[in-house]
């Protein structure tokens, strides 16, 4: 399904800067070579918003196709296990939450680590086969979307949360406002929203066009993510570039607009201004650069 409006600011003013043609799903592994002729492909054009600078894929694949039988399990990837061990300790030491809700919890690796630190947890994930793994580990996990009805269900059963978090899951949703409204519904007034998203700055700087695939609908920089969060009553107070997935951005946001932001926020925003990350022409040039590299590969293979 092709969206017409920007996923962030909702304006109808987006510009195509890279078209990767029709591509198979990144996690759609085939049963054997005989299945190759039947492999489905989907359009993969990439756009930038002329209004807010958000980089996004607007041709969305039905989430049931993407996530119904999800093949990626975080606990099987050693670097991710290490990442979540560090992240759990970071959350515990920095934000000291007593109750954490995680959306896109996958097989529950973070929930399990937080539970060991004495934190009450509840997870939400749309993939039934993955949430079954988490429940078999004794974790409290809901199969479904993290939306307002789900948030209300959790609130009635477990109370308000001190922290809502999602690691490399926020950008999988073609309507991020659904997650933000759900977070507002379940959070304490002084609670935190902590997101880890793939960073547009690393996409640009390291030419990571191999990370452009159908699950990754949006590539945020701090300025575009902050603008989106502000529209739904959240304000970024902390930001950090991390190495997960080749380069990501971790932010902490609160509903208290008077709370002072750390200097890390202004430092990253200054970097983005220097690199013109929210300038559509930056991404037009990026697309042209990638196009030349694609031609080199094609010529080499032919």
**pLDDT digits 0-9 by tens, 183-230:** 999 999 999 999 999 999 999 999 888 889 888 999 999 999 999 999
Measured CA to CA, the distance from residue 151 to residue 157 in angstroms comes to 10
Residues 161, 166, 168, CA angle at the centre, nearest 5°?
Answer: 180
pLDDT at 69 exceeding the cut of 80: no
The model's pTM: 0.93
Structural domains present in the chain = 14-59+282-301 (no CATH), 74-275 (3.40.50.150)
3-state SS class at 161: strand
Going by pLDDT thresholds of 50, 70 and 90, the confidence category of residue 74 is confident
pLDDT tens digit string along 248-291? 999 999 999 899 999 999 999 999 999 999 999 999 999 999 99
Look at residue 298 in the predicted model and tell me its pLDDT.
87
Looking at the chain, list the stretches that DSSP marks H as alpha helix, in order from N- to C-terminal side. 63-67, 78-95, 109-116, 128-136, 148-158, 176-186, 200-205, 222-231, 263-275, 280-301
Question: What average pLDDT is seen over the chain?
Answer: 93
């Amino acid at each position: 399904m092709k969206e017409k409006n920007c996923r962030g600011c909702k304006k109808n003013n987006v510009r195509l800067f890279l078209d990767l043609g029709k591509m198979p799903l990144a996690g759609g592994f085939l049963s054997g070579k005989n299945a190759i002729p039947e492999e489905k492909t989907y359009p993969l054009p990439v756009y930038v918003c002329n209004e807010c600078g958000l980089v996004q894929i607007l041709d969305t694949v039905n989430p049931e196709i993407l996530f119904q039988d999800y093949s990626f399990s975080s606990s099987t990837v050693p670097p991710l296990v290490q990442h979540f061990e560090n992240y759990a300790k970071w959350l515990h030491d920095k934000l000291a939450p007593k109750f954490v809700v995680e959306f896109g919890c996958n097989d529950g690796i973070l929930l399990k680590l937080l539970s060991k630190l004495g934190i009450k947890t509840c997870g939400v994930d749309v993939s039934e086969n993955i949430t079954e793994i988490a429940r078999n580990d004794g974790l409290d996990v809901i199969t479904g979307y993290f939306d307002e009805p789900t948030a209300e269900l959790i609130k009635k059963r477990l109370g308000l949360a001190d922290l809502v978090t999602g690691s490399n899951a926020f950008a999988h949703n073609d309507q991020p406002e659904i997650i933000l409204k759900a977070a507002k519904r379940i959070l304490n007034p002084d609670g935190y929203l902590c997101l880890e998203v793939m960073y547009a700055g690393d996409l640009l700087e390291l030419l990571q066009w191999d990370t452009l695939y159908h699950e990754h609908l949006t590539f945020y920089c701090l300025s575009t993510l902050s603008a989106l969060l502000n529209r739904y009553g959240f304000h970024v107070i902390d930001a950090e570039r991390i190495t997960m997935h080749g380069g990501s951005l971790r932010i902490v946001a609160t509903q208290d607009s008077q709370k002072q932001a750390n200097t890390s926020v202004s430092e990253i925003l200054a970097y983005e201004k220097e690199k013109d990350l929210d300038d559509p022409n930056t991404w037009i040039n990026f697309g042209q650069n990638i196009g030349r590299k694609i031609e080199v590969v094609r010529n080499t293979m032919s």
